[in-house]
Amino acid sequence: MLFSLFFGAGNLIFPPYLGMESGNHFIAAIAGFILTAVFLPLLAIISVSLSNNGLISIGQRVHPVFGLAFAIVIYLSIGAFYGIPRASNVAYELGFMQVYDVQGRLSLFLFSIIFFGLTYLLSLNPKKIIDLVGQILTPALLGVLAILVVRAFFTFSYSEVPASEKFQSNPFLKGFLEGYFTMDAIAALAFGIVIINGLKDKGVTKKKDLIQGTLFAGLIAAGGLTIVYVSLSWIGRVLPYDEPFKNGAEILVFASQQLFGYGGNVLFGVIVILACLTTCVGLINACSRFFHEVFPKLSYKNYVFIFIVIGWLLTNFGLDLILQFATPLLVFIYPISIVLIILSLFQHFFGESKRMYIFSVSIATVFALFEALNSIGLQLNVLNPFFAFLPLHSNGLGWTVPTLLAAIIGYGFDFYGKAVVYQSKIE
């Protein structure tokens, strides 16, 4: 189930395009991609399992108010206001429209009613979601994907192809950034609690067993994602073409048509719809359980209905508007999320440090706000000369070194303070 929750339409589209553009640097590029698209979400799953109350507990190490507010922002951004309507729109544009040549608002309206009606029914009983998604929808998705990949393996042949300009220098870092922009690390902060709750529903109660079960699920998901990402990117790498494609969706549509004719359109459409449906079910479940636990006056089923309605309404505004609205929000929360994931794992092995969280998250927030403002066209020119000197700034990772230094300084302050207290007690 966890594999299927992560594997939405966006994850379907990124790898083939990376494979096409990376050319002869394919291995380095896909290695960087897997590091951030698979390994980082796995770390997020582990960090959530090690925390007493999931994402809220992680954020509360900075401040209780910050912990609750940040968790709400995470669940709303990847859920009702972005992830859910985005997945349903992609299911329509890249799935349904590949099978039926339809246009216009009315067809989207009718499709969204059926899509969210099915999502609602699948989400009503959280105790059955693991069985529904894990035992039925995920095998169906993997089966259809396997048909495409195996046929491609025996049909397309490898040839020497130069990398695009983007991947000619440091292909590993370029692949790393492509995986970074899948936003799966943020989704993992929400999906971690879905797995924990699912284990509890199955009768697992001890914390050690919950951690082991979550880690086992995470490793299965990571292994499945790695195999699928390598397979899809390999299709983009070996697919013969006359003109470059604009995105990964075009690559997969073309590959499906080359391999299966019109049946390829149907095959690709089924893959996309299944991927989006499983992601929507997971997001609805995660958001509804979170808000029910924080604000229990409304039942889980009430929250399911609320998020279904919000997702359905936003879906009918169209994908372009959703992406335009969500981009600055995601740019803002991603660096903060990565910092919290890494620090929560560090703390588990090296001890608590309040200042480590406060210093590093504060610095990450400043950089995240700067990038978010840039994404909506508000340039803070007075800060540009300073940021330009930072390592990796041109790649959108200028926040990493200052945040790391802030974490080290904060941890050093607390470590020194504890050493002084300990020494005074001895004396």
Domains and CATH numbers, the chain: 2-317 (1.20.1740.10), 325-427 (no CATH)
Cα 131 from Cα 253, distance rounded (Å): 30
pLDDT band at 183 (very low <50, low <70, confident <90, very high): confident
Residue 255 confidence (pLDDT)? 85
Asked if 343 and 356 touch (Cβ cutoff 8 Å), the reply is: yes
Condensed to tens digits (0 to 9), the pLDDT of residues 110-126 reads: 999 999 999 998 888 76
pLDDT band at 426 (very low <50, low <70, confident <90, very high): low
Residue 384 confidence (pLDDT)? 67
**Statement: residue 304 has pLDDT above 90:** yes
Average pLDDT, the chain: 83
Condensed to tens digits (0 to 9), the pLDDT of residues 246-257 reads: 777 788 888 888
Residue 170 backbone dihedrals phi, psi, to 5 degrees: 50, 60
